[in-house]
Structure 1
């Protein structure tokens, strides 16, 4: 599929999404359209798999109400649950439900809401007691087919849903092409579109693609070259999972994806996103809980790559009991209750493998704030020597906030243990209507500077640990990267001559105006 065809598909899906919009907010109709797309994906994946089990089998045409059809369905189900993690009957396939919803024998719409709700529940039920149960549990819980926002009457709701399913049924997701992640790209596009219209809520589930790319490249670098393979990648505030999936695009293979997300709806979105990108249920482990208060992946878990865009300066308990937690105990102090930024950093450092790299987006305050944060920052540098690079990003590149941000890169085994690299990329961007954008050239420049690790006037600087200590472990980027632009000297004689000329011009204009006023018989305004 060409890039133009991909763009057309993305636009088609966005147009269908807007069919549902009505009185809903961006986050509400997002849940419906992404849920329906996911259901269509599962159906087509199921159909392709079932047809591959037996030559000549057309699974969608099998009548599961007959004894013979039921035998086929049961045989296929056992294989499908093991391979795909779920199963669907032929009558439950998206194409058949959409067909029933848009025309029966008389050409009128059939009532499908009940069938659709049962089908979505059956997908989850088919996983019960299996390895994939946690990955499908309550996956469609945000799709309320009884909501009055879909219509005042059951008939109106049914007509709207049938219409949406009918539009989606006409789109070919091209799932048979293993190399082209057409649907995955389209899904990412939709998530981005919803984020751009979701205001402050957008930051809860989506990191702008260019920022994701930078983070992904940073954690997959190995002495200036991209790694080919990652054993594991982890995001403790994974949102929609897009950042985890972006890391996978930078390497040939990621063996396992791990993530945790507090928001239930976003957690569902992350699991759907994984499956839609053809990540097998055995390869990902996404959990739902508060990462700082209730980490879900075990204290002994270690990950080769860690990426994150946690909520900026969020609140957490800062409970003194955390001082006995291995993640925080060695630092001597906890992050402030009203600013959990360093708590996230400490959590990630604990779970970082010895050969791993951590890249996290933070507000600039973590670079210079004092008190407990200053103490933790000093410990990370002086005692652990973990901070490898500090990178300043442009302001207004994130959804829901215009503040400038930075990226901290941390490693346990650093190749440059005697210094810290500072990069100021804050002036390198393209100004957008609502949001600033990092261009490909900006991303390339940043990654090249990270790889080269050398002085570049007004852009990058390598500070020795001694210099950082002299600055009292303050990492504020302007202390290290001088971006001051000297203004051109002012020629006062030329300015005086210009002012004299303006004075003469004004006198001439006043004379002309007075002449016009005299001809009109009115009083001059001066």
Structure 2
């Protein structure tokens, strides 16, 4: 698929999504359109898998009649193989194309004589059947309640059942016409389109966008940082994984990732993350996404990870319960992050989960670099006692959806190649203005990563600070303390300015003389007479 065809697919999907726009807000119609796309993907995946099994018998899965004895026997055989390999199953009558065509056919008539097929009960049943097909299998957790946000009874779809049915049918029929190119195993066309839609929804979701999406350039930067010196990752982790886009970006940058782990508090976003993994062809056995509060109830605390990436909610509230002082994640520091700002609590959690030879990159608000009290104490411990902070990277303001504050990336390693210093990079001016948003371009990302790898001082961009210097600054990591970005103003030639003023004065006198002559001809007093001119 060419780049132009890829863009056309993205635009087609966005146009279909806009079919729902007038009925509900961005985060609501996001859940519907992404859910329907996911249903179509699951259907096409089953068809391709089943057809490969039935090929030697000259059969096509979609053409099987599951109500006959022979058909039911074949469908059951495909079911057993599909659940084992794909983790789920759909019958021929439950396939996306079948339900879209049923809705689009004109078989029934309503009280007004208009013909239509009512598919909402069938669709609700099918989505439930997908989940139930996994019960008792290893994939059950990954498909449990996956479609719970597709409320087909919602009045937001229409005032009447007929209106709801018509809208859903329209969306399904439009989607049914699109080729997702699943046969091309080398091109993640649908995954890219799905990411595109998530990004588009984030741009219109305001503050809520931060709950489920990290802008792709930022994801790319974090991914490149944690894979810079190790591209074969056994365990990858994001404790605040949102829609999973950041994890998938690391998978793309790495040569190989054995298993992906994530945790997400928001239930809807958790469902989105699981869909996103499956849509990117991550096998159900190769990811473990959990839904819980990471700080209060960590689900993977016994594991250690080769790579950790995160974009935690900025300055979120947490309990800061004194009982956490006996929790291994926090106890060694002697202090807890304040309840009103959980930023450092997330750092402590992630450092605890980081493998001895692992790499971690986390996006945080600038306040973590210089705030005092408990946060200052934790920051000092991380540097002085654990010596695991490898780099501090300042990012531009206004690059995240829903907030314009400047942010930074902290890179941590427990076994550092440069244990005597910390690298500071000021990339706050590395952006292009795109409408109201600032954006990191590939060239900006490349410059940051190259500076991180080179680990040398660059005028007005990077500086390698010794631990003694940082100690002398009382462990304040505010980037301007280390990277001098001061631009001297151009010198002013006072003699030249004086000459310009004399020339302006002479010109003014000539103008006054001309005005005075005109006033004399008109017999009026010049306007500057009172000033003595």
SS at match of 2:437: coil
Q: Does 1:277 align with 2:280?
A: yes
For residues 146-202 of structure 1, give each alpha carbon's deviation from its aligned partner in whole angstroms, at most 9, with x where no partner exists. 111111111111111101000000000000111100000000000000011111111
Summarize the alignment of residues 162-181 of structure 1 with structure 2, pairs less than 5 Å apart: 162-181=169-188
CA contact (8 A) 1:100 1:109 kept: no
For the pair shown, which has the larger CA radius of gyration, 1 or 2?
2
Instruction: Tell me which residue corresponds to 2:20.
Output: 20
* 1:127-138 aligned within 5 A: 127-138=134-145
Deviation at 1:108, TM superposition (A): 4.3
Which residues in structure 2 correspond to 1:313-392 (within 5 Å)? 313-392=315-394
Aligned residues: 521
In 2 relative to 1, CA 505–81 (structure 1 residues): closer, same or farther, beyond 3 Å?
farther
Q: TM-score, normalised by structure 1?
A: 0.96
**1:311 partnered with 2:318:** no
Retained in 2: the 8 A contact 1:207–1:398?
Answer: yes
Q: Which consecutive residues of structure 1, in runs of 5 or more, have no partner in the other structure?
A: none
Which residue pairs with 2:531 in the alignment?
none
CA distance in 2, matches of 1:517, 1:141: 86
Tell me which residue corresponds to 2:221: 214
Q: Is the 8 A contact 1:207 1:309 kept in 2?
A: yes
The answer as to whether partners of 1:390 and 1:408 remain within 8 angstroms in 2 is: yes
Write out per-residue CA displacement over residues 399-423 of structure 1, whole angstroms, 9 at most, x where no aligned residue.
1111110000000110111110000
C-alpha contact (below 8 Å) 1:99/1:166 kept by paired residues: yes
Partner residue, 2:111: none
Contact 1:219 1:357 in 2 (8 A): yes
Deviation at 1:365, TM superposition (A): 0.6
Q: CA 1:517–1:473 in structure 2 vs 1: closer, same or farther (change >3 Å)?
A: same
Report the counterpart of residue 66 of structure 1 in structure 2.
68
C-alpha contact (below 8 Å) 1:102/1:108 kept by paired residues: no
Residues 49 and 517 of structure 1: CA distance in aligned 2, closer, same or farther (over 3 Å): farther
Equivalent residues in 2 for 1:63-462 (5 A)? 63-104=65-106, 108-222=115-229, 227-297=230-300, 299-462=301-464
| Displaced runs of 4 or more, over 6 A | 510-526
Q: Residues 70 and 432 from structure 1, CA distance in 2 versus in 1: closer, same or farther, beyond 3 angstroms?
A: same
- 2: CA distance between counterparts of 1:293 and 1:16? 40
Structure 2 unmatched ranges of 5 or more = 109-113, 529-533
Q: Give the Cα–Cα distance (whole angstroms) in 2 for the partners of residues 98 and 323 of structure 1.
A: 56
Q: CA deviation at 1:510?
A: 6.5
User: CA offset at residue 74 of structure 1?
Assistant: 1.1
1:252 deviates by: 2.0
Cα distance between partner residues in 1 of 2:138 and 2:510: 90
Contact preservation (8 Å) 2:30, 2:201 = yes
TM-score, normalised via structure 2 length: 0.94
- Partners of 2:425 and 2:483 within 8 A in 1: yes
Q: Give the one of 457, 463, 466 matched to 1:464.
A: 466
Q: Contact conserved, 1:51 with 1:57, CA < 8 A, in 2?
A: yes
Say whether residues 1:487 and 2:489 are aligned partners.
Answer: yes
- Partner Cα distance (1:12, 1:43) in 2: 19
Q: Distance in 1 between matches of 2:278 and 2:518?
A: 79
For each residue in 1:452-508, what CA deviation from the matched residue of structure 2 results, as whole angstroms up to 9, or x when unmatched?
A: 101111111111111111111111111110000111111112222323434454566
Aligned in 2, Cα 1:518/1:258: closer, same or farther, shift over 3 Å? farther
Mapped to 2, the partners of 1:523 and 1:287 lie a distance apart of 88
Q: Is the 8 A contact 1:50 1:76 kept in 2?
A: yes
The structural deviation recorded for 1:431 is 1.3
* Deviations 1:375-399, CA, capped at 9 Å, x for gaps: 0000001000000000000111111
TM-superposed deviation, 1:513 = 7.3
Contact 1:101 1:112 in 2 (8 A): yes
Shift of 1:104: 3.7
